[in-house]
Structure 1
């Protein structure tokens, strides 16, 4: 059913399902996403942080699933209608315990703490680190906040000011720790049961480093930090093979 057709009874059923499926604790804080979309750019929908919201977590998950489909042909004016099903569609939901900020970082995207983050590209076949880049890349971020059509939007102005003020801290932490992050990722590679090339996102929180996301390298931004001769072409075959016996 379309999100706009769902009733309050449906929401209550989904909320109750999530309480059991995720073994939720109303005293904890959570970060939620679908299998392909986190809504972190509108962080108030991704961060669940009081007992009422924990009870309604199913409704939040339903909404960000809907939001992802609305963004399928997104432009800077906001969500578009109708929603389009495809790359943003998934039957997976993820609920993680929220990692509380130890560093008192400023926030962008309506509440997202601006941690130092590292995007590491790896080749799971050759067991090597291909490249590393600051996740909050200065050129990318200042272009997004300051040079797009919505640059005068109050939220964009706010985020530009916050990012510009915090950029020096972010980049100093990045330069200080990027080699350490690469070494630690190298230690993990022999144990990864994966094939192909991937991006791995690492978030720094004080002296702690957390792997918070992964994706296929070909689908990841910031791939320019990888030498072109290291990038492998990837073929995707979506055509199912049906044998005569199955028929």
Structure 2
């Protein structure tokens, strides 16, 4: 399998994508922002389509749209009473915009398929380098803000009482989430990127209880999902996204079953 350059590129890219998604996913789950990762995936579709329309890379367009929108949507949906309506309205708008941008562009429908479902096996060396740089930026941000972000994510009231700048932390997290959506969409597409950003972190919560262990399990599940997905896609010629999402869903239900078993014993 590794005799093929495109598979080597795919494994390098997917490894950094999985590490990023695994780390960010723990905080997505702890901050109850799974809804936002789903919305940003749809916004990312519009951003990538916009990039194609104006002649820039889909990744650049996706980053532009998701960073701006993550801060706006995060602020707009801070109150749970209006969260559902806000997210529904914004998601609908950006899906419509994405379809409009693609219809106005001169590219073929294969671009839409790549944006929606990912195209990891066709990723170029330049794109791999871009993903690695973005992943390193996200990981560096989390290393810098690790302690205050962990405090704010798992005990928001305590963090505010301690005088932490929770607003700044929220913005930093939203930017890293936006970058993670843009990175992850390259392998599973904008439709299913939230799978990597929510399920490994949610599964880890059922298995372990300290933040370092949560991060380790979440990253491990993300890596296992993308590596196994690439291998099975190579030997079957089935979509890699199918295998990744199936593995993460199966792992989630196994984690949920384990938690219920422990509660009953």
TM over 0.5: no
Structure with bigger RCO (C-alpha 8 Å, 6+ apart) = 2
- Which of the five TM-score ranges fits, normalised by the shorter chain? under 0.3
Going by fraction, where is helix more abundant, 1 or 2?
Answer: 2
State the TM-score, normalizing by the size of structure 1: 0.25
Higher strand fraction (1 or 2): 1
Q: TM-score by structure 2 length?
A: 0.24
Task: Name which one, 1 or 2, has greater alpha-carbon Rg.
Answer: 1
